[in-house]
Amino acid sequence: MPVNFVGRGMRIPQIQINHLFWLIKLRSRDLPSNLYRLQSPEKVLVDRLRNKDPHAFAKVFEDYYQRLHSYAQRFLDTSEDAEEAIQEVFVKFWEKCEDLAPDSSIKSYLYRSVHNTCLNTLKHQKVKDSYRQYVIHYLEHSQEMHTEQLPNDEVSKRIYSAIDDLPARCSEIFKLSRYEGLKYQEIADHLGISIKTVEVQMGKALRTLRENLKDLK
Phi, psi of 3 (to 5 degrees): -120, 135
217 domain-assigned: no
User: Model pTM?
Assistant: 0.46
Alpha carbon distances (Å) from 141 to 104, 128, 138:
55, 20, 5
136 domain-assigned: no
Identify the residue with better confidence: 141 or 43: 43
- Same domain as 82, residue 7: no
Identify the residue with better confidence: 161 or 92: 92
Residues of the domain holding 123: 40-129
Number of structural domains (the chain) is 3
- Same domain as 207, residue 147: yes
pLDDT, one tens digit per residue, over 177-195 is 877 778 889 999 989 999 9
Q: What is the mean pLDDT of residues 35-63?
A: 82
d(CA 195, CA 217): 35
Q: What is the CATH number of the domain that holds 160?
A: 1.10.10.10
> Are 110 and 68 in contact, with CB atoms under 8 Å apart?
yes
d(CA 47, CA 57): 11
Confidence of residue 144 (pLDDT cuts 50, 70, 90): very low
pLDDT, one tens digit per residue, over 8-37 is 444 445 555 454 444 444 444 444 444 444
Of 14-23, 88-97, 107-116, the poorest mean pLDDT is in: 14-23
Of 10-19, 53-62, 103-112, 208-217, the poorest mean pLDDT is in: 10-19
